């Protein structure tokens, strides 16, 4: 196939992915709609505060407390009190149910239509994912370079990373409840890319012609995808009241978000540092407070604040979720806002 045909195929596949994601979203939504409502706790039926639920479950596993209590004072001191309080119940049993169980949303008595919708939704999402992957690969072949050299390609890749993060997690844990929302985010992101950022396939400016694009941008894309999944969970956390809801419990949502961020934060740190290394090669300084650098730094500090909030008394739960979403807003502003509103050295950002 010629480069032009490959580029055309890539454009078509992006549109196909958008459509498939929209259909998948509908199917995920049907599953949510027909699933059973749940209280704001994974197991216990009463509507007590989450802290109490934690205590209850700690109670149920008393020997754990004994084991922890048996440690010396030094060990206690090394563990922040909040962490200690949650050490026992935060084990995988209390975490999101393993994928095989498949009951987190639908519940054991779920109707057949919900289960069927779930299967269809996942199948559609995977097909969309494959189309999306092929779109990126054909684009890369068409331009004969890493296919994230401009805003369009970058946004397409981040949406792909977000869907991959979701589907990859789904392989091991049941996080189908996120499906509808991740699909919306991915479809909107792709739509945005096609509508506003579309750039015909072509070569990049010499500054972008470097192996650093593979390292720096890839790390940024993967971590952004994971942060997106955490962001979706965070929004659901806030949207979900603490009463009965079809959404999973707040504790589960928080756990999904935390797990994604724990993976994404070191990657983001690496992405920023790799960017500094590239800047050192390309611009003659490793850090110069270019707007993009400023916002990467802000994003990094904000996620560090989230990790701190998670272990600070009085900041867990709602407050740390809000911190997480502020950090996510910074990330999004950096990816899109900075390119559109502020000019800087990052030349790929030309829209």
Within 255-274, which residues bind ligand HEM (CB under 6 A)? 265
304 binds ligand HEM, rule: CB under 6 A: yes
Residue 114 near residue 106, CB atoms below 8 Å:
yes
Please state the closest distance from residue 318 (CB atom) to ligand HEM, in A: 19
- For residue 326, give Cα distances in angstroms to 216, 319, 322: 23, 11, 6
Residue numbers 94-153 binding another protein by CB under 8 A: 95
Whichever of 7 and 272 has its CB closer to ligand HEM, that residue is 272
90 binds another protein, rule: CB under 8 A: yes
Q: Binding residue for another protein (CB under 8 A) from 121, 122, 309, 331?
A: 309
Please state the closest distance from residue 80 (CB atom) to ligand HEM, in A: 5
Total number of residues shown for the chain: 351
Span from 15-23, 35-43, 85-93, 183-191 in contact with another protein (CB under 8 A) = 85-93
77 binds another protein, rule: CB under 8 A: yes
- φ and ψ of 46, to 5 deg: -65, 165
Picked from ligand HEM, another protein, none, the partner binding residue 119 (CB below 5 to 8 A depending on kind) is none
DSSP 169-212: HHHHB--GGGHHHHHHHHHHHHHHHHHHS---S----GGG-STH
Gap between the terminal Cα atoms of the chain: 28
Whichever of 95 and 120 has its CB closer to another protein, that residue is 95
Using CA atoms of 219, 222, 225, 227 in order, give the dihedral in degrees to the nearest 10.
-60
Q: Binding residue for ligand HEM (CB under 6 A) from 311, 326, 332, 345?
A: 311
Q: Binding residue for another protein (CB under 8 A) from 100, 109, 112, 206?
A: 206
Whichever of 133 and 311 has its CB closer to ligand HEM, that residue is 311
């Amino acid at each position: 196939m010629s480069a032009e045909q490959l580029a055309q195929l890539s454009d078509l596949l992006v549109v196909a992915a958008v459509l498939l994601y929209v259909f998948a979203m509908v199917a995920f939504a049907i599953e949510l709609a027909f699933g059973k409502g749940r209280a704001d706790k994974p197991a216990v039926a009463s509507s007590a505060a989450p802290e109490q639920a934690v205590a209850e479950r700690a109670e149920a596993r008393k020997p754990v407390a004994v084991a922890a209590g048996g440690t010396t004072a030094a060990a206690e001191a090394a563990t922040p009190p909040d962490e200690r309080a949650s050490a026992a119940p935060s084990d995988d049993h209390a975490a999101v149910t393993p994928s095989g169980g498949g009951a987190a949303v639908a519940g054991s008595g779920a109707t057949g239509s919900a289960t069927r919708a779930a299967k269809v939704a996942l199948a559609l999402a995977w097909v969309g994912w494959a189309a999306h992957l092929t779109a990126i690969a054909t684009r890369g072949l068409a331009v004969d370079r890493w296919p994230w050299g401009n805003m369009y390609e970058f946004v397409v890749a981040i949406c792909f990373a977000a869907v991959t993060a979701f589907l990859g997690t789904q392989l091991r844990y049941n996080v189908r409840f996120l499906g509808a929302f991740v699909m919306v985010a991915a479809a909107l992101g792709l739509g945005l890319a096609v509508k506003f950022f579309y750039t015909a396939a072509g070569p990049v400016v010499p500054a972008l012609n470097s192996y650093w694009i593979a390292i720096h941008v890839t790390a940024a894309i993967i971590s952004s995808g994971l942060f997106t999944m955490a962001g979706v969970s965070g929004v659901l956390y806030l949207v979900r009241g603490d009463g009965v809801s079809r959404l999973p419990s707040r504790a589960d949502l928080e756990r999904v978000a935390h797990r994604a961020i724990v993976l994404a934060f070191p990657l983001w740190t690496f992405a920023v540092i790799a960017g500094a290394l590239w800047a050192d090669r390309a611009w003659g300084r490793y850090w110069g407070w270019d707007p993009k650098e400023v916002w990467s730094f802000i994003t990094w500090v904000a996620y560090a604040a989230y990790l701190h909030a998670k272990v600070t008394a009085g900041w867990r739960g709602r407050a740390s979720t809000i911190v997480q979403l502020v950090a996510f807003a910074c990330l999004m502003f950096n990816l899109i806002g900075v390119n559109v509103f502020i000019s800087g050295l990052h030349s790929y950002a030309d829209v």
